Structure 1
Amino acid sequence: MEKSQKNSIVRSLGFTDLWSIGVGALVGGGIFTVIAPAISETGPSLFIAFLIAGILAILSSMSYAEMASKWPYQGASYVYSKYAFYPISKDLSKLIALWCSGLYFLSFSFAAGAVNLGFAGYLTVLLPWMPPYISGPLISILITLMLLFGINFTGKINTVLSIIQIVSLLAIAFFTISSNPAGPFTYTDLFTNGIGGLFAAVALIAFGQMQVEAVLTLGEEAKKPKINLPYAQISALITVVVLYVLVGYGVVSSSPIDDLAASAAPLALAIENVLPQYGPFLIAIAALTATATSTIGCLLGASRMLYAAAREHAFPMVFAKLSKSGIPYNAVLATGILALAATFMSIFGYAEVLNILISAAVFANWFMMILMNIALVIVRKTRPDWDPKFRYPFNIKNVPVLALVASLGCMIIITYVNPIAIAIGIGWLILLTLWYYLYAKKRWNFLSAEDIDNL
């Protein structure tokens, strides 16, 4: 960042704020939008698919967490890859960093658009007179404005919404599981389409695990970041995985598999079957709070990724400008505009296109998880003085073995992503590579950790 810039980022987020941002970012899409197609693939073993996706995400998140405890800066994987791959090649480190920043910005801007439409759909339960083509764009605009207002205010609102959604989802899980405790195990065929179907469901459910680094992108806005960031991230992810597994078990326990697979709102169907009087209201509250916080997480993370790259001139410097309160307002606006455009895509009949873009976002996210697991191994081998505040457990000769296991698992899951989405994701990588060589390489102002500390 240029020294002439007077405004600076403010550290205002405590552990609870960071945890709630992580929970809110993770819950939104996965539990409300992918259950029906996931059940079509794997049947009664839905909860196992949630568990596998969650374990892979948790294992990968610990790679992020270790590097965050040493490099707690805006941009998360952008920063980690830049420093981790530097001993191998300066160009490689910057290129992978640009991939992470660009993929995150594109992926989560489109994801926010999809989640906005989910919010609009559930809002009709409470406000049937408000059509989705008004409420969808409206929530996108309102959240963008809220993020421009300030991160401290946003964090407090997000904490309240996250607590409401957790209580609501726990209530849904309790009532649905109570209706049939044996649930999935009452079916003779737990895996409808075998192991292949299970992995295909995991690939779909991966949409709900996309935001593993949402908290970490706010590194310079966190209090005591080297401690709070890694533990807030991991605890948020564990919270959400437990919720997902319980709700996934409960959904299958309360309703016939075929009905759930055919339903446009399987979670609503499940709770209405066991709680017909209050079920619609409960599901609406859970969905509205979850989708709102998910949009907040998407826009926060994407804007901070764009900002982190822009302040080093990897993207135009206009996106690195800060308001008086330390908000990267142009980055927030750019992210909000792209999310709004994605919202309109569904409204005007391009929902299938948006779904493909969301699948490309899943590919991008799991690709970044692979990179971060590899990055940690490289860091361990190239930096003998490495002394992070958080350390990945279960190491053999200083190699985080489970990080390698997570990388292999992510590679397997990626093969089950829609082939068109994989092609789009690879296309994004090619465009970002061209951007690096045609624009960013000659302009890049590489900031070391010391440089950032002194900003």
Structure 2
Amino acid sequence: MNLQTSTNHPVTGTGKLSRGLGFVDLWSVGVGALIGGGIFTVIGPAVAQAGPALFVAFLIAGVIAILSSLSYAELASNWPYEGASYAYSKFAFTPIHKDLGRLMALWCSGLYFLSFAFAAGAVNLGFAGYFNFLFPSLSPTLVAPVVSIAITGLLLIGIKTTGKVNTIFSIIQVIALFAIAIITIFHNPTGPFMHSDFLPNGWTGVFAATALIAFGQMQVEAVLTLGEEAKKPRRNLPLAQVSALVTVVVLYCLTGFGVVSAADPSALAASTAPLSLAVETVLPGVGAVLIAIAALTATGTSTVGCLLGSSRMIFAAAREKAVPGFLGKVNPKTHVPVAATVFTGIIALGTTLMSTMGYGQAISIAVGAAVFANWLMMGLMNIALIVVRVKQPHLKPLFRYPVNIKNIPVLAIVAAIASFWILTYIQPIPLLIGISWLVLITAFYFFYSRSRWEYLDERDMENITKD
């Protein structure tokens, strides 16, 4: 059943993407994006807020993210298309009103683009910080832009090559984090509870840290944005997304407990390479170097996930002319949306250059704006699933959100409320950036997109994505 009469127009000049990613490749995109974006980048600012209770903040953020990921998973099982939440919100809200469906789709596309472009910039700064740990003579302000350009170049080669490189690096990251957790926890098993002030900033500090930690967990949608580059997408997308998030949440909680066991929270908060500092305290010398190397692979793959997700999101919008159509073209040889990838890379490079403002200030602003977009997106996707269940009860996805009362996913309601509530702990400047961005997207829709939009309904999508 289609939501709107088919346009029956060709999608001109877009080319076709290649289904080159299996389950393991998709899982690795999720794991790589999640690990590098969170534990290696924001642990310093997060521990400054939560103190010894860092692992509690990781646990709270993880539970909310997992509950929200189940909404994403069911939506992906219904509509396994490029752009993820762009497609989900379009098909979910259009039965209410076509303008609402399109505006929500553009909101999601714009929010995702903001969060991932900003996230890529912040993660590049994190990469540069760990690189500086190994090579003190090389300034982070020099290294960060170089890695941003290099990863954009990798994505232009093709999705198969990118996927294989990402898989290798992701395995290194998982092994490294398990090693950190085991080493640090065994060093001092009751470490976090030995501090006289377990909650130095009270529960407000824990929730503020929870808001920051979402910076890592938001990249899980990078998997879902690759719907048309995935093999068996209705099965593999939900499975890869949920399994990647569960894997990383467990690692986050263990590592958050361990690092506070191995090093003083105030020292961790002040360090640009906090995990290296924690391991160096337990294993001086070689341990910290090995962790720094692992962090380089982690932050690198996180940038891959950010740029993949952001470029595919804007590609999905451009394919319908919701944004300039040239961004929807695909290279017929590499099957890569070149213009969208390059454009995203330029934005990420610009965010990376914020390092000239000073490392701490730049990462704080970039992370805060990205986190606002993430928590709002999580809330919107939970609401989208509820709307789908009410308006389109005939849909029979392969993956279905558990615990339902009269076909309503009650835990999705809890996750939506929690996501919006966490928004109240975002700092004022990033919050203002996020709200201003929404206003600009809305104006862009009414003055540009609304009259140009070439709507692709579900029949159109099936036709252009079939093998």
Normalised by the length of structure 2, the TM-score is 0.94
Residue 217 of structure 2: which of 193, 200, 209 is its match? 209
Shift of 1:192: 2.1
* Structure 2 CA distance for aligned equivalents of residues 197 and 134 of structure 1: 33
Residue 380 of structure 1: which of 389, 393, 397 is its match? 389
Identical counterparts, % of pairs: 61
In the alignment, what sits opposite 1:27?
35
* Structure 2 CA distance for aligned equivalents of residues 314 and 3 of structure 1: 13
Greater CA drift, 307-316 or 42-51: 42-51
Residue 60 of structure 1: which of 46, 65, 68 is its match? 68
Q: Does 1:12 align with 2:13?
A: no
Q: Does 1:190 align with 2:203?
A: no
In the alignment, what sits opposite 1:452?
461
Shift of 1:260: 2.5
8 Å CA contact 1:214–1:297 kept in 2: the answer is yes
8 Å CA contact 1:74–1:305 kept in 2: the answer is yes
Amino acid at match of 1:120: A
Shift of 1:353: 4.9
Match of 1:415, SS state, is: helix
In the alignment, what sits opposite 1:396?
405
Check 1:269–1:208 CA distance in 2 against 1; reply closer, same or farther (3 A cut). same
8 Å CA contact 2:70–2:242 kept in 1: the answer is yes
Q: Does 1:338 align with 2:347?
A: yes
* Structure 1 CA distance for aligned equivalents of residues 54 and 212 of structure 2: 11
* Structure 2 CA distance for aligned equivalents of residues 180 and 304 of structure 1: 44
Deviation digits for residues 31-85 of structure 1 (CA, Å, limit 9, x no counterpart): 1232222222222111010010011011001101001011000000000000000
Q: Does 1:121 align with 2:133?
A: no
* Structure 1 CA distance for aligned equivalents of residues 38 and 28 of structure 2: 17
Q: Does 1:356 align with 2:365?
A: yes
* Structure 2 CA distance for aligned equivalents of residues 382 and 4 of structure 1: 32
In the alignment, what sits opposite 1:411?
420
Shift of 1:275: 0.4
Shift of 1:420: 1.7
In the alignment, what sits opposite 2:85?
77
* Structure 1 CA distance for aligned equivalents of residues 205 and 141 of structure 2: 35
Shift of 1:6: 7.2
In the alignment, what sits opposite 2:431?
422
Q: Does 1:145 align with 2:145?
A: no
Match of 2:223, SS state, is: coil
Q: Does 1:181 align with 2:183?
A: no
* Structure 1 CA distance for aligned equivalents of residues 430 and 14 of structure 2: 42
| Structure 1: runs of 5 or more not aligned | none
* Structure 2 CA distance for aligned equivalents of residues 120 and 253 of structure 1: 26
Residue 432 of structure 1: which of 441, 449, 454 is its match? 441
Shift of 1:345: 1.9
In the alignment, what sits opposite 1:370?
379
Deviation digits for residues 247-279 of structure 1 (CA, Å, limit 9, x no counterpart): 100011112233323333322221111000322
Deviation digits for residues 303-337 of structure 1 (CA, Å, limit 9, x no counterpart): 00000000000000000010013211000000001
* Structure 1 CA distance for aligned equivalents of residues 292 and 142 of structure 2: 18
* Structure 1 CA distance for aligned equivalents of residues 241 and 401 of structure 2: 14
Shift of 1:281: 1.2
* Structure 2 CA distance for aligned equivalents of residues 416 and 6 of structure 1: 41
* Structure 2 CA distance for aligned equivalents of residues 190 and 398 of structure 1: 42
In the alignment, what sits opposite 2:290?
282
* Structure 1 CA distance for aligned equivalents of residues 11 and 282 of structure 2: 61
Shift of 1:132: 2.5
Q: How many residues align?
A: 455
8 Å CA contact 1:113–1:339 kept in 2: the answer is yes
8 Å CA contact 1:26–1:211 kept in 2: the answer is yes
Amino acid at match of 2:191: G
Check 1:82–1:6 CA distance in 2 against 1; reply closer, same or farther (3 A cut). closer
* Structure 1 CA distance for aligned equivalents of residues 395 and 187 of structure 2: 52
* Structure 2 CA distance for aligned equivalents of residues 112 and 21 of structure 1: 14
In the alignment, what sits opposite 1:227?
235
* Structure 1 CA distance for aligned equivalents of residues 338 and 209 of structure 2: 38
| Structure 2: runs of 5 or more not aligned | 1-8
Q: Does 1:51 align with 2:65?
A: no
Shift of 1:125: 3.3
Deviation digits for residues 281-307 of structure 1 (CA, Å, limit 9, x no counterpart): 122122101100000000000000000
Shift of 1:350: 7.9
Deviation digits for residues 336-358 of structure 1 (CA, Å, limit 9, x no counterpart): 01111111221364862553233
Shift of 1:183: 2.0
Deviation digits for residues 155-205 of structure 1 (CA, Å, limit 9, x no counterpart): 000000000011111111111101011222223432222222211111121
Shift of 1:121: 1.9
Residue 315 of structure 1: which of 317, 323, 332 is its match? 323
Match of 2:221, SS state, is: coil
Greater CA drift, 307-316 or 37-46: 37-46
Amino acid at match of 1:436: Y
In the alignment, what sits opposite 1:109?
117
* Structure 1 CA distance for aligned equivalents of residues 274 and 135 of structure 2: 20
Deviation digits for residues 126-177 of structure 1 (CA, Å, limit 9, x no counterpart): 3444333332111111111110110000000000000001111111111110
Q: CA RMSD in A?
A: 1.5
* Structure 2 CA distance for aligned equivalents of residues 303 and 33 of structure 1: 22
Check 1:252–1:234 CA distance in 2 against 1; reply closer, same or farther (3 A cut). same
